[in-house]
Structure 1
Amino acid sequence: MRHIDSLIFAGWVIPGEPEDRILEKHALAIHEGKIVTILPIEEAVREFSARVTHRLPQHALIPGLINTHTHAAMTLLRGYGSDLPMMEWLHEHIWPAEQAWMSDSFVADGTRLAVAEMLTAGITCFNDMYFFPETTASVVEELGIRACIGLIVVDFPTIWAKNPGEYLGKAEGLYKHYRQHSLIRTALAPHAPYSVSDDPLKSIAALSESWDIPIHMHLHETADEVVQSQKQYQLRPIERLENLGLLSERFLAVHATQLNDNDIEYLQLHQCHVVHCPESNLKLASGFCPVPRLLENGINVALGTDGAASNDDLDILGEMRTAALLAKGISGNAAAVPAAKALHMATLGGAQALGIDDITGSLKPGKAADVVAIDMSALSTQPVYNVLSQIVYAASRHQVTDVWVAGQHLLKSRILSTMDMRELQTRILFWRQKIGDDS
């Protein structure tokens, strides 16, 4: 009998590879932060003794959810300037608020709030884009979640950097500091085609290839973005990026609501990834990402929430449901994005986009034990005929009871193990009073 760190006995295990596989009454064996094997419970009892055993007969185990597009610290601006068109929302509300309140402590507290929300929603990894990325990374280390930290670049000065050269200089330092980290990866994060000029974009393309890290960028988010690019450059944004050398298998196109046939050909040709943020797109009336057409053309699609200022939650379970239903409604095809594909987009699809699918994204021997337990005994998910379908179409984040990242039990029976929630609530109230009094 082999002794290991932990065994999780569950009513169902959904490994994620292949997409639609469901294992009933199985156990997950974990040792030194990695998955050893998945096997029937009776066999697990015979083959393993564990330091800790978790018995979850009413639960489904799924791979940790991946939020492939966030602005984590913007939780402190949740609901700020709601119900406005995107550019008005950005220019008249969000950017002025950031200019007034952006600081290291703002990012630290906002990120802690975001990580607390994401862990309790079953998110084990997030891909961020925001100022003070070194602070975000520090919070990630402190709390034990997995993350890809965006090394943001814009043309204009902010409190974090004065010009593109300074943004890229700081990016290099952070990339070198975290390139061997077990939980933290980095990505170059030029904000958008309309906020970054040609020369910095050329430098970003070269650095992405040299460092072999992703480029994470808003692209074709609104119709106005496309129109303005055609006026300024006589090119659609994706054509301009192609000319500048940014498009590759390392490129993540976020939102992508304004795509024509040629745009999709560019994405397919260069093996780019698309990050679909359905609820943020809906709230800002940005448009609809043509997910079924992307999938038909072999383009990997991941899911993101965007920031809490435009969503207003960080809930990938909710995004799965919205993405699946939206695809059906727009395409007129009830099978456009089935439940298994929606879960893939929220797990392995995100890992593939970030280049970490050898580490996470599915429950597979040798991969990190990034695992989520969902209690299926709630009335809203009973009776259970097809557990995968129930998770996508009926389960809520409040049914997530336990979360492990690299085998570390970060959420235990709905209690976060690496956070002082009283202190966090105090800090949130501080920012609410500070920003609210000035708004």
Structure 2
Amino acid sequence: MPMAETRILSARWVLPVVPRGTVLEDHCVVVRGERIVEILPDAQASACHPDAERLEFPSHALLPGFVNTHTHAAMTLLRGVGGDLPLMEWLEKHVWPAEARLLSGEFVHAGSRLAVAEMIRGGTTCFSDMYLFPEETARVVDASGIRAALGLTVIDFPTPWASTPGEYFDKGAALVAAWQGHPRIGFTVAPHAPYTVGDDSLRKIRARAEALGVAVHMHVHETAHEVSTALAEHGERPLQRLARLGLLEQPLAAVHMTQIDDHEHERLPESFTSVVHCPESNLKLASGFCPVARLLGDGINVALGTDGVASNNDLDMLGEMRTAALLAKGVSGDATAVSASQALEMATLNGARALGLEAQIGSLEPGKLADLIAINLGGLEFQPAHDPHAQIVYAATREAVTDVFVAGQPLLRGRELRTLDLDELGAMTRVWQERMQAAH
């Protein structure tokens, strides 16, 4: 069997994420095949691997690819639908009616392609998705080279994908059977929210997640209205109900979590819960503020997600990092809350932890998969570059992402997509826009 190709990625800075805040100047990441084998000073890397291909990033930072821990990828085709509205009005009067008219496997395949292209161009190498027709998203992930954890969605009401809870479970099982073992596709069990999934389904969800050894991925405590309605109808807060049903006894990626009382703050560190913070979606929908600084102080794993484009308008993890860091300072009244290096950790390693992938991705370490990106800090707007962490979190935009690799394979080189065609995507999107306008 031939030896895998060795490639040296030489950069002005390497930001491995661990230990937090580490900056390695004039270092190289040595990749053999799909994995990182060494991180060395430039001269040493050249001496140790004289015949390896070299890729030069003289004004760049190399860092782990971003892990977008909560998306609804196909909803990219609903960008701008029903803007500037609170959550339930946005869902009930705009999003759900649009989905009832348009949702199909074809819609999901097209929307997922558009989303994946946007994410790659913004430095995301792995995303955790929750949507219908996930078999179509799987096809896009397979073809594009990105990594994903696909949600086995469960809702207790009919949709164009499934009619009964049993059918959701059966279709989820079929997805696992079709794609289990794929090197870049994993799974979560993804009940939509406590207010759309009953106790019987949640018990089955817990058993399914335990059997598969994966996390449960769920919207939880997104708004004050959700919590007050649960108290009025069931006499308990949603998180209390999930605890009663055993869902805090195994990995849970609890998305949003803007409403947490003191008892829940005490209970969460004893659980296996990761909080997935979606700051820009929460701000746009006026859903509330996740107490990120307090959660991190309590030792809770806090990851970042963009949510869907319909409630955010982009899939920009650099934007989420900046907003998360600034919002944490404002909400806590503490300028030291969520440093730039912490924000980067939330967008990379913490997302991997929430998905159970921290042994494989999320930081640049020998033995891990070579999911990494290059951000060009050579522009005038980033000078002087005293602290590359601060420049990336507080100054960089996604246009500064020049190169993206997943398992050592280039998906973006010099801002050019390698596995998706921009012109084709543009034409496809225009067709869907016309179809959506005609169906309105």
With structure 2 as the length reference, what TM-score do the two structures score? 0.98
Opposite residue 352 of structure 1, the aligned amino acid is: R
Contact 2:210 2:250 (8 Å CA) reproduced = no
Q: Tell me which residue corresponds to 1:127.
A: 128
Match of 1:410 in 2: 411
Work out the CA distance in 1 between the residues paired with 2:25 and 2:261. 43
Residue identity in the other structure for 2:196: S
Counterpart secondary structure, 2:47: helix
- Given residue 267 of structure 2, which amino acid in structure 1 is its aligned partner? Y
**CA drift at 1:266:** 2.8
1:189 is displaced (CA, Å) by: 0.2
Hey, what does 1:33 align to over in structure 2? Answer: 34
**Contact preservation (8 Å) 1:253, 1:273:** yes
Cα offset, 1:249, TM superposition: 4.2
Question: What's the offset of the Cα at 1:374?
Answer: 0.3
Q: Is the 8 A contact 1:69 1:304 kept in 2?
A: yes
Residues in 1 aligned to 2:27 and 2:80: alpha-carbon distance in whole angstroms: 42
State the partner residue of 1:352: 353
Q: Could you say which residue in structure 1 is the equivalent of 2:312?
A: 311
SS at match of 1:391: helix
Distance 1:233 1:147, change over 3 A: same
Take 2:303 and 2:236, find their aligned partners in 1: how far apart are those partners?
Answer: 26
Equivalent residues of 2:4, 2:33 under 8 A apart: no
User: Structure 1: where are the runs of 5+ without partners?
Assistant: none
- Following superposition, the deviation at residue 183 of structure 1 comes to 0.5
Q: CA deviation at 1:263?
A: 1.7
Contact 1:35 1:366 in 2 (8 A): yes
Distance (whole Å) between structure 2 residues aligned to residue 435 and residue 156 of structure 1: 24
3-state secondary structure, aligned to 1:130 = coil
Conserved 8 A contact 1:374-1:401:
yes
- Tell me the secondary structure at the aligned position of residue 404 of structure 1: strand
The residue type paired with residue 63 of structure 2 is I
CA–CA distance in structure 2, aligned partners of residues 111 and 3 of structure 1: 31
Runs of 4+, deviation exceeding 6 Å = none
Contact 1:10 1:55 in 2 (8 A): yes
Distance (Å, rounded) in 2 between the aligned partners of 1:259 and 1:379:
42
Structure-2 residue corresponding to 1:395: 396
Against the structure 1 CA distance between its residues 78 and 3, is the aligned structure 2 distance closer, same or farther, given a 3 Å change threshold? closer
1:4, distance to aligned residue in structure 2 (A): 4.2
How far apart are 1:245 and its partner, in Å? 1.2
1:25-424 to 2 correspondences below 5 Å: 25-424=26-425
> Is residue 21 of structure 1 aligned with residue 17 of structure 2?
no
Specify whether residues 155 and 35 from structure 1 end up closer, same or farther in structure 2 by C-alpha distance, changes over 3 A only: same
Aligned mates of 2:415, 2:224 — CA distance in 1: 41
Deviation (angstroms), 1:143: 0.4
- Give the distance between the partners of 1:134 and 1:302, measured in 2 at CA: 25
After superposition, the C-alpha distances for 1:37-77 in whole angstroms (9 at most, x for unaligned) are 00000101101135531111100001010000000000000
Larger mean CA deviation between 200-209 and 278-287 belongs to 200-209
Q: 8 Å contact 2:101–2:439 — kept in the other structure?
A: no
Which consecutive residues of structure 2, in runs of 5 or more, have no partner in the other structure? none
| Cα-to-partner distance string for 1:238-286 (whole Å, 9 max, x where unaligned) | 0011111111341010000011111222322112100000000000000
Aligned with 1:288: secondary structure?
coil
Structure 2: how far apart are the matches of 1:420 and 1:388? 31
- 3-state secondary structure, aligned to 2:276: strand
Counterparts in 2 of 1:50 and 1:149: CA distance versus 1, 3 Å: farther
Secondary structure, in 3 states, of the residue corresponding to 1:166?
Answer: helix
Q: Is the 8 A contact 2:153 2:189 kept in 1?
A: yes
Give the letter aligned to residue 344 of structure 1.
Answer: E
| CA positional deviation for 1:177 | 3.0
Letter in 2 for 1:185: G
- Residue pair 1:249, 1:273 contacting (<8 A) in 2 also: no
Residues 50 and 99 (structure 1 numbering): CA distance in 2 closer, same or farther, change over 3 Å?
A: farther
Q: Is the 8 A contact 2:322 2:394 kept in 1?
A: yes
Aligned residue pairs total: 438
In structure 1, the partner of 2:12 is 11
Determine if contact 1:131/1:152 at 8 Å carries over to the other structure: yes
Query: Structure 1 CA distance, aligned partners of 2:177 and 2:337?
Result: 42
State the distance in 1 between where 2:152 and 2:53 align.
Answer: 39
Q: 1:3/1:123 Cα in 2 relative to 1: closer, same or farther (>3 Å)?
A: closer
Letter in 2 for 1:273: S
CA distance in 1, matches of 2:341, 2:102: 42
Partners of 2:53 and 2:314 lie apart in 1 by: 33
Q: Give the whole-Å Cα distance in 1 for the aligned partners of 2:63 and 2:36.
A: 13
Aligned CA RMSD, in angstroms, stands at 1.1
- Counterparts of 1:95 and 1:339 in 2: how far apart (Å)? 37
Per-residue Cα deviation, 1:281-314 (whole angstroms, up to 9, x for no partner) = 0000000000011011110000000000010100
- By how many angstroms is 1:438 displaced? 3.1
